[in-house]
Structure 1
Amino acid sequence: MISSHTPDILIRDAVPDDALCLGVLGMQVFLDTYATQGIRGSIAAEALQAFSPEALSRLIAQPGISIIVAESNDHLVGFAQVALAAPHELISTPEVAELQRLYIQERFTGLGIGYSLLQAAERQACSGGASLLWATVWVGNERALAFYPRRGYELAGSPSYTFQNETHENRLFTKRLDTHD
């Protein structure tokens, strides 16, 4: 049973020493979300490729990418990944950023951590010059499909996403950012 006590959460920018824990956290959340019928080759390959410590180290160091972590008692429990200057074919706004990942460890969902990370991601995108933030959500991720509209995001299309030669239907959500914050 999880205590109703909300843990103290520190929201901060990722640092190089976070790569290992980010990779494992990312893999855990990825598998919990997308491996709903078990593990098959394409899921395993994508998880290992996307969340290796080397891949996360490259992302942390990459200009134009921001990774913001949520930490509880020196343990990572979630993160948001934002890419600046990230256009999408369904979006005509020129100054856009993409929320590439918003991952919360299952045990810490429902505590407002996702919203705190989303707000930090929006601020990061705005400070990077974006007037709009967008995210794609897999159609099988019902919690995320409900989360974004509650946070002011509008449905803007239904693109597909391909990884490991498999195509998956998604929903595209967008939100105009208040550049006066």
Structure 2
Amino acid sequence: MTLHIHKCSFDDISKLQEISVETFTETFKDQNTSESLHAYLNKAFNLIQLEKEVWNPLSQFFFIYMNDEVAGYLKVNTNEAQSEAMGDDSLEIERIYIKGKFQGHGLGKYLLNTAIETAMACDMKRVWLGVWEENEKAIAFYKKMGFIQTGAHSFYMGEEEQIDLVLTKLLN
């Protein structure tokens, strides 16, 4: 098994859109109405929106490849690109998704470590993320990786309000 990380550029937009839609749908289709899911997918992952995000110098996207196939991706934000005002010494992990067929191989941990290394290289004091309160598998993973709950915020899946737990990890 070979793994490698690739920092995304504008040339990766269509691949980014494809994996974003695929992994988000895999993760949340069974717990949400198809109307709410499609409304979110159309808003969050349309090409214009993704182009804006990739061009933002305060955001970075990374693909993880397993045996030369894109297996997942990571999006991190700093400063004003963060979805919540957490300060200039924080890095947000906005998205971390692994395709279903690649789960269970430690790729999530690999991407999480990439985010932490990115934060440390920028002298950040903490990394944080929002995770749906009903995503018990992800919450357990993050807590195992040293994150603690420090708050909660609203997340909208289409018109439907859901609650994300805000989890934070302090860096040394």
The answer to which of 21-30 and 45-54 deviates more is: 45-54
Q: Give the match for residue 79 of structure 1.
A: 73
Q: Name the SS of the counterpart of 1:152 in structure 2.
A: coil
Change (3 A) 1:22 1:83: same
Q: Name the SS of the counterpart of 2:124 in structure 1.
A: coil
Q: Summarize the alignment of residues 3-152 of structure 1 with structure 2, pairs less than 5 Å apart.
A: 7-37=1-31, 39-85=33-79, 86=82, 88=84, 95-152=89-146
Q: Name the SS of the counterpart of 1:158 in structure 2.
A: strand
Per-residue deviation, 1:52:
2.5
Paired amino acid for 1:76: V
Per-residue deviation, 1:88:
3.8
Q: Is the 8 A contact 2:39 2:157 kept in 1?
A: no
Q: Is the 8 A contact 1:132 1:175 kept in 2?
A: yes
RMSD: 2.0
Distance across 2 between alignment mates of 1:175 and 1:57: 29
Distance across 2 between alignment mates of 1:26 and 1:39: 18
Task: Identify, as 1 or 2, the structure richer in helix.
Answer: 2
Paired amino acid for 2:25: L
Counterpart selection for 2:169 from 165, 168, 175: 175
Q: Give the match for residue 164 of structure 1.
A: 158
The answer to which of 164-173 and 47-56 deviates more is: 47-56
Q: Name the SS of the counterpart of 2:101 in structure 1.
A: helix
Per-residue deviation, 1:121:
0.8
Paired amino acid for 1:120: T
In structure 2, runs of 5+ residues without a counterpart are: none
Q: Give the match for residue 4 of structure 1.
A: none
Distance across 2 between alignment mates of 1:73 and 1:20: 20
In structure 1, runs of 5+ residues without a counterpart are: 1-6
Q: How many residues align?
A: 170
